[in-house]
Amino acid sequence: MTDSYSYQSNAVPPQRAPALPAGDYEFFWGAATAAYQIEGAAREDRKGPSIWDEFCGIPGNTLDGDTGEMACDHYHRWRADVELMRELSLRAYRFSVSWPRVMPRGRGPVNPTGLDFYDRLVDTLLRAGIEPFVTLYHWDLPAALQSELNGWLNPDMPAIFADYAAVVVERLGDRVAHWMTLNEPWVVATAGYFEGVHPPGLRDRAAGYRAGHNLLRAHAYAVAGYRASRCGTGQISFALNSSFSFPASDSPEDAAAAQRAVENFAGWFGDPCWFGDYPAVMRERLGDLLPAFSAEDAALLRRSMDFIALNYYTSDIVRHAAGAGPMDAEVVTPPDFRRTEMNWPIMPDGFRELLCWLSRRYGGLPVYVTENGAACPDQPDEHGYVDDQDRIAYLRSHLSAVGAAMAAGVNVRGYFVWSLMDNLEWCEGFSKRFGIVRCEPGTLRRIIKSSGRWYAKLIQSARRGAVALAAGAVP
């Protein structure tokens, strides 16, 4: 693909699309990525190092020593990538802003070149008729904040994050209407602090709950800042990841265990952002491990999501088992259950159930599916073309689940496939591929897969896809 789409800097500034008449809304068909996974240019144009740059630099931390140093080189190929999105008929694109590209040390001086990059990207997307959905933090914490302040364990981090968020909002907020503060704080806390497989690499449950607590407070501070700002007329939330838990039997004990498991997963970060506190079951069972919110923080957190942003991949089957973790819930999904390359069970019914569960719990808020997709064992032919029928089957069954949830009354407003292109899957390196576009190893050439072509057709046939989806019409 050539880098043929040129940015017209002197043209009329792009505007947000005009609002559709009440009751008629456009469904945002999109694809998602994250800065560290696709941008590369890790040391270019005064970008500071992130904790992921440092973590990947330590041998053994990622598969085959893969890093985001070059990733998909999106930092240099972004114009062609927007053109690619157009070719895919995308109506929306979710990307994240790299905090250390904008503020190399996480606080203090702003790097204008970093901000310019996202400014141009937003303008070019809008000119291409693609709505930007922006995530402010998708895990690439500026390394200086980790080494100098102990990262998310520091109670001052919420104010620091809110300052950074304000800088980005001030620059992009006149054109970006959909914001997410954090991506999957659950993963930051569990992988980074419980399991030690993401930076900062701790294995300390108490620290994980403290980090999660400060992430929630950071979200609340940034939301308050956004809503008070002159650009704060759009919608803001955070991207919540969760699976659904099905009870292993009809017994009331298994049903209760499954319900506890969902509250402990989705509710850990969802409940504070709606009710202002953790789920009662977490308070009861985790005791002092779970920090308390001050009255001020609780007030800031309450109703701090304007929409539910759900990242869904998988679910599980659980049974009641005394002593199986704080929730007394044991995962008993059979090992031979159909799974993706991530070894995640394929459970579209869990998607429908979770959408209904979240919608019921959080006041029927509008929902955007901000990530959904599958890692598959792609086999390119001699031209680099991937006929990924397994990914199409996954997407089709999951979109049908979205349709079923909509038919049941869930107010779904958009769907973003993860991911636009194959990219750095964190510790798994480039070995796990989620893209609907192949990013050829070595050349980084973009080649649309069968799933990308299928998705483009789906979008073209269902521009206002709400109706089509609810009617179960997923071709």
The set of catalytic residues is: 184, 371
Considering only 34, 126, 262, 392, the residue that binds ligand IFM (CB under 6 A) is: 34
Determine if 311 is a binding residue for ligand IFM (CB under 6 A): yes
Eight-class DSSP state of 345: B
- Closest CB to ligand IFM among residues 186, 221: 186
- Closest CB to ligand IFM among residues 126, 375: 375
DSSP conformation letters of 12-77: PPP-PPPPPPTT----EEEEE--HHHH---TTSTTPPPBHHHHHHTSTTSSGGG--TTTTT-HHHH
Q: Which residues of 55-70 are buried (b: 16+ CB within 10 A; e: fewer)?
A: bbeeeebbeeebbbee
- Closest CB to ligand IFM among residues 68, 272: 68
446-448 and 437-439 strand pairing: antiparallel
- Closest CB to ligand IFM among residues 33, 304: 33
How many binding residues for ligand IFM (CB under 6 A)? 8
Give the chain's length.
475
**Least distance from C-beta 427 to ligand IFM, angstroms?**
10
Determine if 184 is a binding residue for ligand IFM (CB under 6 A): yes
Considering only 123, 371, 378, 422, the residue that binds ligand IFM (CB under 6 A) is: 371
CA distances to 46, 111, 238, 304, 463 from 365, in Å: 40, 36, 13, 12, 22
- Closest CB to ligand IFM among residues 226, 434: 434
Determine if 422 is a binding residue for ligand IFM (CB under 6 A): no
Binding mask 265-304 for ligand IFM (x = CB under 6 A): ----------------------------------------
Cα gap 367→372, rounded to integer Å: 13
Cα gap 118→403, rounded to integer Å: 33
Determine if 33 is a binding residue for ligand IFM (CB under 6 A): no
**Least distance from C-beta 197 to ligand IFM, angstroms?**
12
Tokens coding 142: 């500026």
Tokens coding 295: 């009255």
Determine if 329 is a binding residue for ligand IFM (CB under 6 A): no
Considering only 226, 418, 430, 454, the residue that binds ligand IFM (CB under 6 A) is: 418
**Least distance from C-beta 303 to ligand IFM, angstroms?**
25
**Least distance from C-beta 373 to ligand IFM, angstroms?**
7
**Least distance from C-beta 363 to ligand IFM, angstroms?**
25
Return the residue nearest ligand IFM (CB atom).
34
Cα gap 475→27, rounded to integer Å: 17
- Closest CB to ligand IFM among residues 266, 290: 266
- Closest CB to ligand IFM among residues 107, 138: 138
**Least distance from C-beta 173 to ligand IFM, angstroms?**
24
**Least distance from C-beta 344 to ligand IFM, angstroms?**
9
Which candidate, 441, 334, 344, 459, places its Cα nearest to that of 394?
344
Residue position matching structure tokens 């759900």: 310
Determine if 330 is a binding residue for ligand IFM (CB under 6 A): no
Cα gap 151→141, rounded to integer Å: 8
Considering only 140, 425, 439, 458, the residue that binds ligand IFM (CB under 6 A) is: 425
Q: Tell me the HSE value of 193 on the side-chain side, using a 13 A CA sphere.
A: 23
Whether the ω angle into residue 419 lies within 30 degrees of 0, i.e. cis, is yes
Binding mask 129-168 for ligand IFM (x = CB under 6 A): ----------------------------------------
Please provide the distance, in angstroms rounded to a whole number, between the alpha carbons at the two ends of the chain. 28
Residue position matching structure tokens 């955070």: 238
**Least distance from C-beta 418 to ligand IFM, angstroms?**
5
Q: 228: phi > 0 → left, psi -120 to 50 → alpha, else beta; which? A: alpha
Determine if 62 is a binding residue for ligand IFM (CB under 6 A): no
Strand order in the sheet with 329-331: 245-247, 316-320, 329-331
Determine if 243 is a binding residue for ligand IFM (CB under 6 A): no
Which residues lie near ligand IFM (CB under 6 A)?
34, 37, 184, 311, 371, 418, 425, 434
